[in-house]
Amino acid sequence: MPSADNRNTKWKGSRDAWLDAAFELLLESGVDSVRILPLAKRLELSRTSFYWFFKDREALLHALIERWRQKNTQGLVGQTQAYAETITEAILNVFDCWLDPALFDSQLEFAIRSWALQSPDVSQAIEQADETRIEALTQMFVRFGYEPLAANVRGRTIYLTQIGYISLNCQETLELRMQRIPSYVEIFTGQPPQAHDLRRFHARHAYTPQDG
């Protein structure tokens, strides 16, 4: 016989289930579609069960922002702090974000930035996130001996380049992106990546370079 907790979960869902469904709607149709009734229908739950987890729709939207902040900002900052023996290895750690949605979800980033166009609160959250991420990239360069101003310019260049990719919804094949990675590394750091660093990077993303 199922426990009372299991029966309650089936009846009202879970906080994560409501958030997951809200993210799906945000990605599919924008923030205006993130409403309680469509979420309940998607989850096949009663509308009243929503209020077990959130005070109102505004509380849900705040939770979406917090989850985005934890996923993308913390994911990127964590990669700037990952172990690396050289700046080129450190940059490749950061580049993991652009290829692994578990570290940094570009579709989610696009959706949040689109939302910010109609919400001053979300726009402010974006500004704070940008500052935190650029500072993390700056400090990564400083750790490898770059002067603070040069470190900041390089960090900003890396970050704004990627945000440009996301904002323009640029699409690249994995092959094309991997071909460009060594040049990006050299442009951003002033140093070419080592072959063994590229091999490890390729292996992390299950990529085998094409011959020739």
Question: pTM of the predicted model, to two decimals?
Answer: 0.88
Please say if the pLDDT value at position 212 is more than 70: no
pLDDT for 211 equals: 65
Higher-pLDDT residue of 166, 212: 166
Q: 12 falls in which pLDDT band (50, 70, 90)?
A: low
Beta carbons of 179 and 172 less than 8 angstroms apart: no
CATH, domain range 1-54: 1.10.10
Rounded distance between C-alpha atoms, residue 113 and residue 163, angstroms: 10
